């Protein structure tokens, strides 16, 4: 059937046209539903992830390291996404690999609202700990004074149209009451004992977010520490299950407890690691023995994880050439030497991101920009 409503308006009244061609509406294909887009940028073991809601609003979690390298990479993702403004810039905490690139970034793109956990617990307020980005706290106060500033606590929401962005941890505190649909006993607690972790207390202050788009759920806890995870997940899981787990703390040993990973039951994990930062053997083993996890996607092939724990190459965004990997793995001392080192100043070109496209029905696709490989995860029954 051909719909000719406007053509026949010259000879028929509008009611007559509507009555005659009621089937036309069914013949017009529905407009595709927009998805939630996430660009996980390579910051060589730092952190930066750009979220674009179906409404087009943007939230950037962290800004990587200083020096411009990571800023260029973030801007490349921003340009690929076709956005002109960061509506919300959320800093999980104030370590150099998470806020180091902020000063340069805000000189290159407008930011609507700065989001954080409030004052730092490290330098300069604590004379025993250095400020990892010299002068950052003073600069930051001046930056957010010129626009909007949102200090969040557990239970708060970031008002992004089209998705539910719920804060689950902040300033060393987690949710006190379970979210709707959560609150069940967590079997992972039985195999999780507290750890004594005294270094870098800012990690435990991390702003953690649970993001819901229809039936799709994702969690990002920054560098939240092991004992904070226990508080959030034990004896009952206050968060519930998720589809996507943005691996905590780059996959290092002070985070990623069985209580967290087993309780969340994610289908896929995306790890923001470097070649020698993160992907710790124990953190990888916890994920690989969590039955719900189908795949671990890595920003880098890891010399720490080695042959046994690294994911297959199709799931790894950035990989050294085979000769470099072989030299590093066979070096005297076990894994030393070779590679690019893993320091924040080391750079490589090109740098590839991992991109997630999530749908309201709970299905999502993860794509590797290095090799074009992608995998779609169908909707999971709840």
pLDDT in tens, 269-325: 999 999 999 999 999 999 999 999 999 999 999 999 999 999 999 999 999 887 878
Question: What integer pLDDT is reported at residue 381 of this predicted model?
Answer: 81
Please give the biggest Cα pair distance in the chain: 89
Given the DSSP bridges, would you call strands 316-318 and 268-271 parallel, antiparallel or unpaired?
unpaired
Tell me how far apart the alpha carbons of residues 19 and 260 are, in angstroms, rounded to a whole number: 58
Sheet hosting strand 86-90, strand order edge to edge? 148-151, 111-116, 86-90, 58-61, 49-52, 36-40, 354-358, 364-368, 374-377
Question: What integer pLDDT is reported at residue 59 of this predicted model?
Answer: 98
Instruction: Show the low-confidence residues of the chain (pLDDT under 50).
Output: 1-26, 334-345
Question: What integer pLDDT is reported at residue 325 of this predicted model?
Answer: 81
Tell me how far apart the alpha carbons of residues 261 and 230 are, in angstroms, rounded to a whole number: 11
- Looking at domain 33-377, its CATH architecture is 4-Layer Sandwich (3.60)
Q: Where are the beta strands (DSSP E) in the chain?
A: 36-40, 49-52, 58-61, 86-90, 111-116, 148-151, 157-158, 164-170, 173-174, 184-185, 208-213, 216-220, 236-237, 244-246, 268-271, 295-300, 316-318, 354-358, 364-368, 374-377
Question: What integer pLDDT is reported at residue 27 of this predicted model?
Answer: 55
pLDDT digits (tens, 9 = 90+) for 333-381: 544 433 343 444 457 889 999 999 999 999 999 999 999 999 999 998 8
Question: What integer pLDDT is reported at residue 330 of this predicted model?
Answer: 78
**What's the pTM?**
0.89
Question: What integer pLDDT is reported at residue 322 of this predicted model?
Answer: 79
Burial of 294 from C-beta contacts in 10 A (0-12 / 13-18 / 19+):
exposed
The CA-to-CA distance between both ends of the chain, in Å, stands at 40
Per-domain residue ranges for the chain?
Answer: 33-377
Question: What integer pLDDT is reported at residue 300 of this predicted model?
Answer: 97
Question: What integer pLDDT is reported at residue 349 of this predicted model?
Answer: 86
């Amino acid at each position: 059937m051909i719909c000719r409503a406007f053509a026949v308006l010259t000879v028929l009244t509008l009611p007559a046209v509507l009555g005659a061609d009621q089937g036309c509406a069914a013949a017009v294909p529905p407009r595709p539903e927009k998805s939630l887009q996430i660009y996980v940028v390579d910051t060589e073991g730092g952190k930066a992830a750009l979220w674009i809601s179906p409404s087009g609003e943007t939230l950037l979690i962290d800004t990587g390291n200083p020096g411009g390298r990571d800023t260029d990479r973030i801007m490349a993702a921003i340009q690929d996404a076709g956005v002109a403004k960061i509506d919300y810039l959320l800093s999980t905490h104030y370590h150099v690999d998470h806020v180091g690139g902020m000063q340069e970034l805000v000189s290159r793109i407008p930011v609507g609202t700065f989001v954080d956990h409030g004052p730092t617990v490290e330098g300069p307020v604590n004379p025993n700990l250095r400020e990892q980005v010299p002068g950052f706290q003073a600069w930051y106060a001046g930056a957010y004074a010129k626009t909007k500033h949102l200090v969040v606590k557990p239970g708060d929401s970031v008002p992004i149209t089209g998705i539910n962005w719920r804060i689950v941890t902040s300033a060393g505190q987690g949710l006190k009451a379970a979210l709707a649909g959560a609150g069940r006993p967590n079997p992972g607690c039985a195999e999780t004992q507290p750890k004594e972790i005294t270094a870098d207390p800012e990690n435990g202050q991390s702003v953690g977010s649970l993001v819901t788009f229809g039936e799709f759920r994702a969690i990002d806890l920054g560098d939240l520490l092991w004992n904070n995870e226990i508080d959030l997940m034990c004896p009952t899981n206050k968060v519930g299950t998720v589809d996507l787990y943005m691996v905590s703390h780059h996959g290092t040993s002070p985070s990623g407890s069985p209580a967290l990973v087993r309780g969340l039951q994610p289908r896929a994990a995306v790890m923001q690691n470097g070649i020698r930062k993160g992907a710790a053997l124990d953190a990888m083993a916890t994920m690989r023995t969590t039955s719900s996890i189908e795949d671990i996607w890595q920003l880098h092939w890891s010399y720490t994880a080695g042959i046994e724990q690294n994911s297959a190459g199709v799931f790894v965004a950035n990989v050294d050439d085979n000769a470099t990997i072989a030299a590093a793995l066979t070096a005297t001392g076990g894994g030393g030497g070779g590679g690019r080192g893993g320091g924040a100043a080391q750079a490589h070109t090109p740098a590839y991101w991992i991109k997630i496209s999530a749908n309201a029905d709970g299905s999502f696709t993860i794509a590797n920009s290095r090799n074009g490989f992608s995998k779609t995860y169908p909707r999971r029954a709840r």
